[in-house]
Chain A
């Protein structure tokens, strides 16, 4: 060994050994037995300490016995605080509940199509969707129980009040929950074990019970926003009026549609996950189809969602203009710019996926040439929708502009422009669907030319009506302008229904110009599906926040005031951080659900043929030796 190194090592080793000796000596000294100090008997007898201790204990006991019961209003959750804790748990509960309520809706529909057409692929697809349900149902129930306990612990006074108003609804809720468990597990485990009609009945039962549960829970949360059926002092007058408050029905409809859109997108993300991990062409074809159906469900449900949103907003305004203006013109107005970014991304993602999907159909070139125009329309609408009414600017900039609105772009930030943009976005996405639908097909009916012309005329008329009313809105009073959104929405809905109806008959017995090659999709298309699912989830989190946060410093708007340290409305930046973390947690858990569902397809563990099997290992050694 190097002599210089030995020279250095010697003293170092010596120092280490010395340190070790000191440590050992200290350790032993500290644990050496020492006789405890005992005061002489005379001193012990004379000291009043024992008596003092007894007196102190007696006094403490007396104080404890005299302590009155005081009901606390709030208890604090460690580290993150009560509000964030409740927020995260409620959001996770709602996301899983939305998924569990949504999947049976389209699973039953797909199963019914399979039964009607006799095509076994649909049955397999519906079963595949249902595989995701059982674990998700358990997670929904777990988060629901956590939410209930946390409300009782952290917000006892508020929870007590809600109990006093809604006590007649709790037992039916529990009963329905049992019924849902019965229908869900019988539906899932009974797949292929009953007559198809009996099985379909179980699926319908599951949907009826699940929707009823949602209606009851919606009554609680909408009451908090628009309380009804109570006296000025908050005492219950009518339970039914408390349930059927201003925002109950709009929320029911909005949630039902949103749940389907969200469930479809998450199911499509599952298909994408499976597609990316598929090893055979057959698997890829199946999961490509599943992803397409999931996304189709999501987008079809998503298209009417803004209209349900308008209705909800209208009812919020009808209940309280203050509440409505807080939402659209006050603290939450900028939240709708974030919402515009999300919805714009959803539309872009959905259209991009459809355009990529055209590639799986032979002879798609004739249709693909329209994509650039659709893209331009979507980009322009996206930009208009995301234009804020007022912008952040320095004092000098505000002076130069003559206000906080940009002199030109400010005109695009008002409701007239935004309503127009969203309606055109919906029409454009609908057109993408229509083009995808007719890829590889040619209409053969005698009136094909007239049919195409009629479709084009309806589409153009709807677009002209939407744009004209949007421009007209700039020149009329607010009371008239608000009403213009109704004919805008109606013309778009009419166009979608009329064009689809014509299309169904137009392509009844089409001439096929190219086959659909399921599975021939680039990997990026599957990442788009996952992106859409994350965006939907994030959007649900954000809109859940605005619905709840709108009450500001009220637990029950105008009835039970929030006097906790969390009574303030946080910044949007903080809210979006909480939403992001909740969404991440949801995807960690849903990833677990996907993994569990995938286990179903794996072969059973076989000790003989397992690569880790000792038998195989022994065989391998033998083979090595013999060679």
Chain B
């Protein structure tokens, strides 16, 4: 029995689409959910902020989509291992908190030699971290080669915490940070 060409064509179309659909099942399957909003409590300790900062870097902040931690070779963006130590020497007159803040709020104002510009402004959409969330990220970055000192009352050139004094430029790591401002009442939400 000869199978009509129309039937063969239909079978070919079906088999080809099914094959490509099958190829699609062979690759890793990952459903990406929209980033969850982080609830920051006013009484968070620096350790709490470091923990949340780490989560933000992986999730909502998308930092580790581009940056690496502890990787060497021909990288596209700077590796962050030991960045807290390097941050104090990058721009004369800026301590590591001010340097981190500058990198996050105005990323194109200073480009690490050997790399191209490309980092988005972190406090604006599509990433849109809040000032408090950025403080948490800075706290986490301080752990990479330094000691975290940031609190929710830390101010810097781009953010003035309620009742806090701004960070003093040029200080040693941590110099500019903790102030004795009164913690904000209630949860600080984005």
Contacts and interface: CB of A to CB of B under 8 A. Distances in A.
Contact of B32 (A331, A535, A577, A579): A331
B114 interface: yes
Nearest to B107: A321
B1 interface: no
A124 interface: no
A153 to B, nearest CB: 23
Given A317-B118, A321-B119, A554 B126 contact: yes
B120 A527 contact: no
Contacts of B62: 322, 326
Contact of A580 (B12, B21, B75, B127): B21
B125 interface: yes
Interface in A574-627: 575-577, 579-580, 583-584, 587, 591
B28 A569 contact: no
A479 B24 contact: no
Given A325-B65, A535-B16, A568-B33, A338 B24 contact: yes
A575 B25 CA distance: 10
A573 B25 contact: yes
Main secondary structure of the interface of A (DSSP, over half): helix
B126 A557 contact: yes
B116 interface: yes
Interface string B97-130: 0000000000000000011101110001111100
Nearest to B115: A479
Contacts of A330: 65
A329 interface: yes
A5 B36 CA distance: 75
Main secondary structure of the interface of B (DSSP, over half): loop
Interface in B1-59: 5-6, 8-10, 12-14, 16-18, 20-21, 23-25, 27-35
Nearest to B74: A477
A500 interface: no
B76 interface: yes
B146 to A, nearest CB: 26
Contacts of B18: 580
A552 B32 contact: yes
A580 B14 CA distance: 9
Contact of B9 (A276, A478, A583): A276
Given A276-B9, A558-B126, A580 B17 contact: yes
B66 interface: yes
B32 A568 contact: yes
Contacts, number: 130
Contacts of A576: 20-21, 23-25
Nearest to B125: A558
A338 B23 contact: yes
Nearest to B126: A558
A111 interface: no
Contact of B21 (A325, A474, A577): A577
B24 A587 contact: no
Interface in A471-498: 474-479, 481
A334 interface: yes
A561 B60 CA distance: 14
A538 B114 contact: no
A534 B13 contact: yes
Contacts of B29: 571-573
A277 interface: yes
Interface in A219-243: 232
Contacts of B28: 334, 392, 572
B20 A531 contact: no
A314 to B, nearest CB: 12
B75 A534 contact: no
Nearest to A337: B27
Given A334-B28, A554-B126, A580-B18, A322 B65 contact: yes
A273 interface: yes
Given A342-B20, A558-B126, A569 B5 contact: no
Contacts of A329: 65-66
Contact of B120 (A321, A538, A580, A584): A321
Interface of B: 5-6, 8-10, 12-14, 16-18, 20-21, 23-25, 27-35, 62, 65-66, 74-76, 114-116, 118-120, 124-128
Closest 7 CB pairs of A and B: A576-B24, A321-B118, A553-B34, A558-B125, A580-B21, A558-B126, A571-B29
